[in-house]
A = this chain, B = another copy of it.
Amino acid sequence: MSGLRARVRAELTAEIKRLARAQMEAQGPNDLNLRAIARELGMVSSAVYRYFASRDELLTALIIDAYDELGRTAEDADAGCDPADTVGRFVTVATAIYRWARTSPSQYLLLFGTPVPGYAAPIDTVAAAIRVTTVLQHILDEAGRQGATPAVAPIVPPTVQPDLATVRALTDSTVSDQLLLTGLQSWTAMFGAITFILNGQFRNVVGDVDALFGAFADLLARQVIGARHD
């Protein structure tokens, strides 16, 4: 096992993914071109199929890698924070996610952009996707333990209560329905803002989008963790 052949294979697999990422970064996340990758590798297109059975399979591998990078980015950012400062943690993690998204927009859009046509995310991606939300949820858990209450109390629809319960179970926390629902809202708002900025939806409207996102992140954190009564 682990002969020369296996090593070469691993290297080539990584190289293909690297080139694929570079290509997406250069010309949008949607037109991943197997033949161009093969060309850059000095191979013929059919040879690439020895490493990835199809374009979708390569895409899946890239998605998993991206989820992992995103998760690691969030974890690293959170690790450098004062654990008790939940507002600071949220802002720090949000900023780190935003920076990563700006650095490699095509990878971010691979995860949160429009899914490619006919592509159904395999189960493999789910595990990788949980990582970043776990970080966010841990912050929420800590806030809950500190007795935090959202600035505006949401109305929790009865039909989503079971869903909240399963989400809560992921980190076996004890946050209230209201805090959890507000947290969910803030997370989608954060990812939504990043997607908006990346897609250029604020073009010709807001110049300093970095500052805008910073203001959003701060606002979101304080909307979720509004008051603390012990």
Does chain B have a CB within 8 A of A185? yes
Q: Give the one of A188, A204, A208 with max B CB within 10 A.
A: A188
A221 and B92 CA atoms in complex are apart in Å by 26
A10 → chain B, closest Cβ, in Å? 30
Asked whether A151 and B154 contact (CB < 8 A) given A189-B188, A212-B160, the answer is no
- Mark out the residues of chain A between 20 and 50 whose CB falls within 8 Å of any chain B CB in the assembled complex: 27-31
A160 → chain B, closest Cβ, in Å? 5
Does chain B have a CB within 8 A of A128? no
Does chain B have a CB within 8 A of A88? no
- Mark out the residues of chain A between 108 and 156 whose CB falls within 8 Å of any chain B CB in the assembled complex: 109, 112-118, 121, 126, 151-152, 154-156
Complex contacts, A151 vs chain B, CB 8 Å: 151-152, 223, 226
Complex contacts, A166 vs chain B, CB 8 Å: 205
Q: Across chains A and B, which 10 residue pairs bring their CB atoms closest together, nearest first?
A: A192-B192, A28-B117, A113-B114, A189-B189, A157-B211, A159-B208, A154-B219, A163-B206, A114-B114, A30-B117
